[in-house]
Amino acid sequence: MKKTLFTTVLLFSILFLHAQNYDRVFNPWKVELSLGGAIPKGEGSKGGVLFVVEPKYAVDDQFWVGLRIETAVMARSLQYTDGSSSYTYSKVSASGSYVATGDFYFTTSPFRPFIGAGGGIYHLASAEIDDSYYGDIPVVSSYKPGAMLRAGFEAGIFRMGVEYNFIGNTRTTYTDPGGQYTTVSQNSYLGVKIGVVLGGKRL
């Protein structure tokens, strides 16, 4: 156990020293600020807006790791089932996420296309559908693990990207005197965003 711990610490120390001594092209720290459109999955859904802050560190000039903190406000697709029939609604609500990210940049030139991926936790806000026949139909808030794939480019301080967030559906089952009912919220969404990069300049 001690030998394994020592080996792990030694490897991380070597990686850290390598990162410090690497003949870098870019300053290794930056923060990306973005906004854009959120396009949710599902019938009846409606697009909204998103806001992002993402601090990042360069392991080397072409591979950066970060933490994406995002809020997306949109009308998710909600399917309501009463046992014999199903109905589709949409309701505006927010989702927040904390996603660990990794981006690979294909060049070290001023124009830098990239691909990336990440995984983390998504918080889906509760929603309530006001139906004239069924009354208030609830969808509970939930925390769900999710994943993200993206691609885009940076040019100077300008950044543009497209991301798809893979998030499991939220299912709510409840019972009242009339029977048992289920609502299903589709949570995955596409993000199209533009932003600026603070820091990470060429040395």
- The larger pLDDT score, comparing residue 87 to residue 96, is at 96
How far apart CA 201 and CA 27 sit, in angstroms, is 5
pLDDT band at 121, cuts 50/70/90? very high
Give CA 198 to chain center in angstroms. Answer: 20
How far apart CA 187 and CA 28 sit, in angstroms, is 34
- The full set of domain ranges for the chain reads 27-199
pLDDT number for residue 15: 53
In this prediction the pTM is 0.82
pLDDT number for residue 87: 72
CA atoms within 13 A on the CB side of 98: 3
Q: Which of 49, 36, 42 is nearest to 90 (CA)?
A: 42
CATH number belonging to domain 27-199: 2.40.160.20
Mean pLDDT, range 108-128, rounded to an integer? 92
The secondary structure of 49-89, three-state, reads: EEEEEEEEEEEECCEEEEEEEEEEEEEEEEEEECCCCEEEE
pLDDT band at 100, cuts 50/70/90? very high
pLDDT tens by residue, 1-31: 455 555 555 555 545 555 554 578 899 999 9
Widest CA span in the chain: 70
Mean pLDDT, range 163-169, rounded to an integer? 95
Give CA 18 to chain center in angstroms. Answer: 30
pLDDT band at 126, cuts 50/70/90? confident
